[in-house]
Amino acid sequence: MKGQNKREGFPSLANRFKKDKDGKPLLVRPPYNEDISLFHKYCPECIDTPCMSICEEEIIKLDGDKVPFLVFEKNGCTFCEECANVCPYPVLILNENTKQKINANFSIDINSCLAWNSVMCSSCKDMCNDNAIAFLGVFRPTIDMQKCTGCGFCYGVCPPYAIKFSAIKEK
């Protein structure tokens, strides 16, 4: 990866993610979905990938099966609803059951977090519009998953890459 930004190598990190029952990585899917299986049913047939094209934050990418997933290396999701508005299949939909929440768990690795190691840093908190990141005084940040929408904006701004996330396995 010499000469390359560490975070641009995300496809090569896929085997570090949790895996589903078929051994495939569990990737974080775009919001506004009710049934994760619909991504695999309809998305591979989608020709123009309008969800990917319309995303102003450029966080929607395609996996090897042409199914969209989210990358938070440079940006996060603003929940603009545009991906759902252009989805030609019943995958991304706007209704009372779909929330402005991404199906991911976020956490802080306290061993690599600057603030947990007595260095003044609040990069993650500064980016969190949901006030989901709280500090004990000026140190020891924690993520309140009750408030966290999974937008991912905290991930890309963390200098030591201490913010971690993983897809929540669907039942």
* 64-117 residue pLDDT tens: 999 999 999 999 999 999 999 999 999 999 988 777 899 999 999 999 999 999
Distances (CA, A) of 30 to 5, 20, 45, 116: 24, 18, 17, 31
Task: Compute the chain's Rg from CA coordinates.
Answer: 16
Beta strand pairing call for 60-62 and 133-136: unpaired
Residue type, 75: N
pLDDT of 17 higher than 90 = no
pLDDT of 5 higher than 70 = no
pLDDT of 162 higher than 90 = yes
- Predicted pLDDT at 4: 43
Predicted confidence band of residue 25 (pLDDT cuts 50, 70, 90): low
Contact predicate 89/151, CB 8 Å: no
Contact predicate 85/77, CB 8 Å: no
Domains of the chain: 6-86 (no CATH), 105-167 (3.30.70.20)
C-beta neighbour count of 119 within 10 angstroms:
11
- Predicted pLDDT at 170: 61
- Predicted pLDDT at 168: 84
Averaged confidence pLDDT in the chain: 86
pLDDT of 19 higher than 60 = no
Q: What is the value of pTM for the model shown?
A: 0.82
Q: What is the DSSP letter of 38?
A: H
